[in-house]
């Protein structure tokens, strides 16, 4: 830039020298040039120099301003565009603009847009399928249904693979270590003569489920399992021991048909239920729902909270003690083929053959028998067989 300015100055200086008037020559007879005339010429030369410098500075300022404007126009070529609109047929219209957030090239090809994007500080790693079992230690406040929901399994799966529970969810205790399988099903140790077809039929699943489960590491080109190898049977199931049948259904008379083949007749006639209501103040399930291995529902109830008769009927059992893990238990025959059972009670307020109406207080919730925390164990039976209480009780 310095050399450029010096060149311009030299050009104007040379131009000024050429344009400068030369003083006329005078003869010897003329009078010599006076000092004032020489001073006038000098002033004219100084004025031209000042003008040349002013023009030079104007040119420099103009060049710098043009450069700055050009730079700014280059950096502002990217603009935010609206999202594309769709035509009536659902296709983008011809005049649709690029979607906001997509790279946009300016008219002079200056590059991509400078749209800001949110930084993700934590990488989301997709959850991978688990093939191996894990161990879970039961803590206070746990319940079978809660643990099963936590690992996205059915509660009966935990009974299938944990022999220490003996097919009874009420055997769950704090400190117990449970095997948590990767999927619903059960484990099986392969024996001599077993085939995929025979094992699938035994455990109510398909051969493909066993072969294709990646945790079994079966060679798909030559599927076989060595004797003594423990494999997962995905979707498999087995019959669970029905602990409810240990407590026999007791009916109030030979003509009620409530007890089935194992019923004992304890009382005579009485009121007949026309409907069924909820037996506790809370409608929440606190531990186990109805399903294989638990043919009842565990209703949330604190120690000492009232328990109500679900329907009118006659008390055919009001018995304290262990009672096969039921603890203090009450049965009511409703005279219409139904019997209801109330277990783990802390207090029994009725006696054998007592007639009760729907909603009558028959006892208080507790934690007796094989119970893991206070709640109301509630069953509904027809002809000695359990049914889901939700299908009967409103």
What pLDDT score was predicted for residue 382? 92
Q: Are residues 247 and 386 in the same domain?
A: yes
Q: What is the pLDDT of residue 60?
A: 80
What was the pLDDT predicted at 251? Answer: 85
Which structural domain range is residue 213 located in? 134-234
- pTM confidence score: 0.60
CA 22 to chain centre: 99
DSSP-derived secondary structure letter, 28: T
97 belongs to a structural domain: no
From the CB of residue 67, how many other CB atoms can be counted at a distance below 10 Å? 10
CATH number for the domain harbouring residue 267: 2.70.70.10
Q: What is the pLDDT of residue 115?
A: 59
Select from 213, 234, 255 the last residue of a domain. 234
Instruction: Give the per-residue pLDDT at 339.
Output: 95
Angle between helices 35-75 and 2-19 (to 10 degrees): 140
262 and 371: one domain?
Answer: yes
Residues 265 and 386 in one domain: yes
Environment class of 312 (CB within 10 Å of its CB; exposed 0-12, middle 13-18, buried 19+): buried
Residue 60 located in a structural domain? no
Is 80 a member of any domain?
Answer: no
In a shared domain, residues 223 and 259: no
Q: Tell me, yes or no, whether 82 lies in a domain.
A: no
Closest CA to 308 of 334, 342, 333: 342
Low-confidence stretches of the chain (pLDDT beneath 70): 1-9, 11-46, 74-128, 254-266
387 and 268 in a common domain: yes
228 and 367 inside one domain:
no
Number of separate domains in the chain? 2
In a domain, 40, yes or no: no
- Of 215, 234, 253, which residue constitutes the final position of a domain? 234
Q: CATH code at 153? A: 3.10.350.10
Domain shared by 268 and 294, yes or no: yes
Q: Provide the token pair at 247.
A: 């407590």
Of 205, 234, 263, which one is at a domain's C-terminal end? 234
- Would you say residue 99 lies in a domain? no
Specify whether 283 is located in the same domain as 370.
Answer: yes
Q: Does 219 share its domain with 261?
A: no
Q: What angle do CA 174, 177, 180 make, to 5 degrees?
A: 120
pLDDT at 120: 58
What is the model's pLDDT at position 16?
A: 60
Q: Are residues 313 and 174 in the same domain?
A: no
229 & 357 share domain: no
For 24, how many CA atoms within 13 A lie in the half-sphere containing its CB? 7
368 in a domain, yes or no?
yes
Task: Give a yes or no: residue 159 inside a domain.
Answer: yes
Do 229 and 252 have their domain in common?
no
């Amino acid at each position: 830039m310095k050399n450029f300015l010096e060149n311009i100055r030299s050009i104007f200086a040379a131009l000024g020298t050429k344009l400068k008037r030369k003083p006329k020559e005078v003869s010897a007879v003329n009078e010599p040039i006076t000092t004032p005339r020489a001073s006038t010429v000098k002033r004219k030369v100084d004025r031209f120099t000042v003008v040349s410098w002013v023009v030079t500075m104007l040119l420099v300022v103009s060049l710098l301003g043009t450069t700055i404007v050009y730079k700014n126009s280059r950096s502002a070529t990217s603009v935010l565009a609206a999202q594309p609109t769709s035509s009536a047929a659902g296709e983008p219209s011809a005049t649709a603009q690029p979607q906001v957030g997509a790279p946009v090239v300016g008219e002079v090809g200056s590059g991509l847009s400078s749209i800001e994007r949110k930084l993700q500080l934590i990488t989301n790693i997709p959850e991978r399928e688990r093939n191996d079992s894990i161990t879970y230690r039961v803590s206070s406040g746990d319940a079978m249904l809660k643990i099963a929901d936590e690992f996205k399994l059915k509660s009966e799966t935990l009974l299938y693979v944990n022999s220490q529970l003996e097919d009874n969810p009420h055997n769950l205790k704090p400190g117990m270590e449970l095997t948590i399988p990767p999927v619903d099903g059960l484990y099986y140790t392969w024996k001599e003569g077993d085939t995929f077809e025979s094992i699938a039929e035994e455990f109510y699943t398909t051969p493909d489920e066993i072969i294709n489960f990646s945790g079994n590491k079966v060679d798909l080109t030559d599927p076989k399992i060595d004797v003594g190898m423990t494999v997962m049977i995905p979707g498999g199931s087995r019959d669970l021991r029905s602990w409810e049948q240990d407590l026999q259904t007791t009916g109030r008379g030979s003509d009620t048909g409530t007890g089935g083949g194992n019923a004992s007749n304890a009382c005579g006639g009485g009121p007949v239920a026309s409907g069924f209501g909820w037996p506790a103040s809370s409608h929440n399930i606190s531990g186990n729902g109805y399903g294989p291995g638990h043919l009842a529902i565990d209703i949330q109830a604190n120690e000492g909270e009232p328990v109500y008769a679900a329907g009118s009927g006659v008390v055919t059992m009001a018995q304290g003690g262990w009672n096969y893990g039921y603890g203090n238990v009450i049965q009511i025959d409703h005279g219409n083929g139904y019997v209801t059972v109330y277990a783990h009670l802390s207090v029994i307020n009725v006696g054998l053959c007592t007639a009760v109406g729907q909603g009558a207080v028959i006892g208080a919730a507790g934690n007796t028998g094989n119970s893991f925390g206070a709640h109301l164990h509630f069953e509904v039976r027809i002809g000695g067989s359990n049914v889901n209480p939700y299908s009967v009780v409103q």
